[in-house]
Chains A and B, each alone.
Chain A
Amino acid sequence: MTEPKPPANAAASSGATKASPSAGTKPVASGGTSSRRFGWDRGALARRVTALPTPVKWLLIALFVVFLYALPLLEIPIISTPDTDFGAVLFTVASYVLVALGLNIVLGYAGLLDLGYVGFYAVGAYTVAVLGSFQAHLSWWMLIPLAVLFSTISGLLLGAPTLRVRGDYLAIVTLGFGEIIRLTALNTEWLGAAKGITQVPRPPSVEWFEIPHLQWDGFTAFIDLGDTTKFLFFGVADQAPYYWLALTVIFLVLGADRMLRRSRVGRSWEATREDEDAAELMGVPTFRFKLLAFACGAFIGGLSGALFASRQGFINPESFQLLLSILFVAAVVVGGAGNIYGVTLGAIVVGYLPERFRGFEEWRLLVFGVALILLANFRPQGLLPPRRAKRAIAADEQLEALEEGTARV
């Protein structure tokens, strides 16, 4: 197999050894050893949890879900943000999580590096804004499906011509797409141009009952009847209801993600990521599945953008900078592309930390850069790499050790 070949076979094998476009899914051999040194043993905890009887597991999950919904009411001193409404921060984090879950399908599962994901986010947001206040006055319940529809269509329109190119080229084309969407919005009077769109419709409110918040005095908490959240009033001051809405959407998306992952669709995405040519030759219509991944990603991105616009009440092209796309990719890669818990954690890190430490805002990008460098060095697979990548790294290490062993003999 190593003998020199004439051009005919060389052409075949050069096509064969093409690299996977996603850095996040490629185990880096040199990082393998360090990730073991600096990693923690997740296996032990996971084993202990899976060993629990099923009802206990369900109870724990239920408690955790209740805890997540209750977060904005608990006002826990250390994690609550001192400078901004905690509900608003939680919503921001939730929308990052949603975006990361969507991008994870494109980047983590199908291995397509999309640097213009903010474009879909913008299409979702602008659909709600333009059709909800600026040019028409559709009801919010109509706007959300329309926003998702338009972003999905834009995903298909972008994907159909560009998914024929691979790797770096795809990254550049998608990068361009994100900018085109922003610049179009910026330069089109019909879309509000630079001054943006105000009076974006909020989700319809009901005012059923009020829920009191907790108040903390040192380590004791008491119920503060003076500080309540109206269920479910989507206003400006108290943003907890938006967080509840986003959290609910996240759970729905998580469910859908799981269904897709454990089906022909998920397998085809992964096979395409691992080796596109081999997948095609095993009967996977890879182009169709890449397009599908793009559409699913755009669907979730558009949904997230629509929620963002209806929370914000006001949008302009400034909200959809290129930097946001980079942050989205960072959330996925930092957390661990391909692992939904990983990307969720990544999104929390990218979305929450800057809000918590607002005092250091000028240092934000610097700290972020340093953190990324450290991460790339010590955990190249992300904070919570997919179980498989981790096992694969272990296998590589074994192999390396074996090779070294035989070399010495």
Chain B
Amino acid sequence: MKRISDVPKICILLAGCLAIAGCGGEPGADGMIIRIGNGTEPEGLDPHIVTGVPEHHILLALFEGLVRADTTDLSPTPGVAETWEESDDKRVYTFHLRADAKWSNGDPLTSKDFLYAWERILTPALASEYAYLLFPMKNAQAFNEGSIGDFAQVGAEALDDQTLRVTLENPTPYFLSLQTHYSWYPVHQGTIEAFGAKEDRISKWTRAGNLVGNGPYVLSRWSPNEIIETIPNEHYWDVAGIQNDGIHFYPITDGQTEEHMFRNGEIHITYGVPISKVPVYQAKNPEQLRIDPWIGTYFYRFNTLRPPLDDPRVRQALAMALDRDTLCERVLQAGEMPAPFLTPPDINGYLPSARVRYDVDAARKLLAEAGYPNGEGFRTVDILYSTREKNRIIAEAIQQMWKKSLGIDVTLSNQDWKVYLSTTSNAVMGYDIAAGGWIGDVIDPINFLECFITDGGNNRTGWGNEAYDELLAKTMAIGDTAERNSVFDQAETILIEEMPIIPIYHYTHPFLIDPRVRGYTSNLIGYYAYHQLRLDNAASGEL
């Protein structure tokens, strides 16, 4: 008996020791560290596995593609490749890699590393959600679908260690921009295979200390739900251009907490702003608030495999009973635009002609046609969202709109980002209606529309339409922008008629930024150059 009761005391003692040791390890002054709110704990840091914006922010610091983008106008600038040439028919790109390109552990970075990475993301067994972004490359789709077993047939070839040739299926105007996206980043073969097989989705290779990257920063500490710390990569080709001593990412889900930390000077750039704080900052501290344009759309996905949501009329009715204008104007209040279609307007001159109307009467009629007059017999459906205040407010508003105009009952549930991603994945499909959003990876309508190709990794709705897939495939071979846009329009019309998603609003990017931060440029897709950031402490006197 005695011995049993002694156990807890020992545990307490041990815990005490650990706590003290933990405190001792905390560093004191830390130079010029830029602290950035990152919204939520990332799903992971494997560029071939993740799909979200929070992950994108961190991967930008840890990896680099062949080509970077100018942070102002997004035009291609040298990355791992110093120069590149494009063939006359725009189907073949030859990249000349830097001779001094290195991995963060000092290993030389060669064209073979890119081949390894592309083979890995396209390997069917890895089931990468983003594999389709590589499909412009010749035979990449066939390899990913398993109809070609030999990667040598895919249009990527290492002429020598410094020369890489990529052959495309069709001329792809946005091909160079794709290189800024993490699905095209190189990964370090030695590290991946030291911690598991090539096609392991869960592996320890991305842990701090293990991860080897080629970006301006190295992962130095990853404390889940607390902090992700990076320090400058001494092997980075432009190490001299790194203006700060490290970037720290804070995975804070709660916007209020983040705003408090910002006010206390603990964070320099936030992930977002709580909705109700936008007018307050506009009035009191406009220099700290920025509302940048962002090319993206917030929408609700339907699980089209579950009745009654498998009926397009029901989906239409729900979409038409949603008052986007009032929602944007009265609830969101950060300049968001109501979205009657998926693709944000005016990408390469493309403006979709199909639109969802706000028409309660027509919505009621459709619901009655589908067999649910006044919502009778309609089961209670659930709206799932990842834990964020903004998602909750929107869901509560929509819940009531549907209840009032269609007479259907809706419950709300929220899940942590990682859990949410797995619940909504194509393999699980464990939801009725899920709030989601899409931020463009490249500035091209295809990037939005191809999310919903049949069985696409980012589809997550169970919806598929052959005509839609064919139209999008057709756009790949069209060079003329106007003609391409008209095909996009046909595809988007199908999407809006079938309504596997309800477009709700087009994003803006409201966030708070410390006025001392220099070198921050914003652009439509949130492509940042962290190494250019610095703090102008001379300005701190004014604060």
The reply to whether chain A is a binding partner of chain B is: no
